[in-house]
Amino acid sequence: QVQLVESGGGLVQAGGSLRLSCTASGSILSIGSMGWYRVAPGKQRESVARITSDGRTNYADAVKGRFTISRDNAKNTVYLQMSSLKPEDTAVYYCHLYYNDYTGWLEIWGQGTLVTVSS
């Protein structure tokens, strides 16, 4: 069984920074693309950033130039460095990834971590 553990959320003032981490553990042969999504109050889930297994990245327009996604394959971990945070970045952030557990490709979501940006 595979689990994701997220950490790094919290309360920060506008203009500040936070770093989110998400680590996968369990029966994992390999991990494909990894990403971060968010759900803001009263809004639908949106993709924030994704990174492929070979390091290619893409970002939502709202976070380009402020957020950086990276991964450590040896640690099965994906990071989201968030800088110049704005109140509109307030949301629950979820990590997501595709993995192969020796039987085929599956996907899994993290439990979510709350990021609150005060003005």
What string of H, E and C letters represents the secondary structure of the chain? CCEEEEECCEEEECCCCEEEEEEEECCCCEEEEEEEEEECCCCCCEEEEEECCCCCEEECCCCCCCEEEEEEHHHCEEEEEECCCCHHHCEEEEEEEEEECCCCEEEEECCCEEEEEEC
Specify whether the CB–CB gap between 96 and 34 falls below 8 A. yes
Residue 1 has pLDDT above 90, yes or no: no
Checking if the pLDDT of 90 tops 90, the result is yes
pLDDT of residue 75 exceeding 90, the answer is yes
Could you report the per-residue pLDDT of 22-40, keeping only the tens digit for each? Answer: 999 999 999 999 999 999 9
**Which pLDDT belongs to residue 55?**
96
Return the biggest CA–CA distance within the chain: 48
